[in-house]
Chain A
Amino acid sequence: MRALVIETFAGSVAYILAFTLVILVIGPVQSALITIPGTPDTPDPSLLFLPHGVRILIAWLFKWRAVIALLPGAAIMHFAFLGSAGFTGYALLPLFIGVTVAPLTFEMFKRLGWNLDAGAGAPRWRGVMLVGFCASIVNSLLTNYAYAASLPSYIGYLIGDFFGLFFAFLILLAVFRAFERRANIDPTGGAPKEQ
């Protein structure tokens, strides 16, 4: 139970942070540089949608528990965008699609004979990227169908999810490397040479 609480806290906080970065930094920069044609009535899809990276990574780590881990964070962001109207009828659909598609795609790959879950053999980054891309296709089709979006929106979502996943990995790598370097500098952090 304690593990589930920690997973949920970590997953939801990471999701909210990634979404906040998209809203406050990536979105304004993108709007200043690019206009996506054919989306006059809907906000432009982010072309660097980092929360997709969080969804895939959390699903890779926690499998179906990712649904619980991501739901509070996804619900908060859903509320931030749509208010209480977002929690009625079809408006709820994108929220549930967003948190279930990633673990569902990992499960589909597993049933097709390619288990890419964390702990199932040596990690395969390309495999996880492939799952992320497939999840993005399903997510884009279902979410845009729910919103009755245009073709450029579909394509924008796909691009945003793919690059969001890729850059989420790069950001995570930079964070790990920074911590690792700091650990090396700390004289109390290193173990004595021993074999």
Chain B
Amino acid sequence: MKKYLKLAQVRALLADMEDELGLSELSAVERDVLYAFTEAAERQSSVATRDVMSHPLVTPISRPTVFRAIDRLKSHGLLQHVEGRERGLYTLKD
């Protein structure tokens, strides 16, 4: 959601710090997918998986890997599935 964009940007910056310092709980792929969600959330409140798939950071990654990354981001509490909507529609969690 757009109102959480700034929080998501701060989290993405902190994720880069975690990676630089070896503190990361997210892999490089998960960070890239999270960043793609963050950018897409700037344009729309809910982000479809297909929009993330077309992001330049994500296009080189295989579909199964992207879906595994989305699962991990959900379990980290960073993404939330939009209840009662189409499959593969998510919002960034605060």
On B, residues with C-beta under 8 Å from A are: 6, 9-18, 20, 23, 25, 32, 35, 39, 42, 57, 67, 70-71, 74-81, 83, 87-88, 93
User: For the complex, what is the distance from the CA of A193 to the CA of B9, rounded to whole Å?
Assistant: 25
A118: chain B residues at CB < 8 Å are: 6, 9-10, 13
- Does residue A57 face the partner (Cβ distance < 8 Å to B)? yes
Pairwise interchain contact A180-B16, C-beta atoms closer than 8 A: no
Q: Is the CB of A191 within 8 A of B17?
A: no
Query: Which residues of A have CB within 8 Å of B81?
Result: 191-192, 194
Chain A, interface SS category: helix
Are B11 and A191 closer than 8 Å at their CB atoms? no
Q: Which of A167-195 contact B (CB under 8 A)?
A: 169, 172-173, 176-177, 179-181, 183-184, 189-195
One of A125, A189, A193 near B16 (C-beta < 8 A): A125
Which A residues from 119 to 145 make CB contacts under 8 A with B?
119, 122-126, 128
- Asked whether, in the complex, the Cβ of B16 is within 8 Å of the Cβ of A124, the reply is yes
The reply to whether A191 and B80 form a contact with Cβ atoms under 8 Å apart is yes
A61 an interface residue at 8 Å Cβ cutoff?
A: yes
Contact partner, A184, options B42, B70, B75, B80, Cβ 8 Å: B75
Min distance, Cβ B13 to any Cβ of chain A, angstroms: 4
CB neighbours (8 Å) of A106 from chain B are none
Tell me the smallest distance from the CB of B81 to a CB of chain A, in Å. 4
Q: State whether B20 touches A125 (Cβ < 8 A).
A: yes
Tell me the nearest residue of chain B to A124, going by C-beta. B16
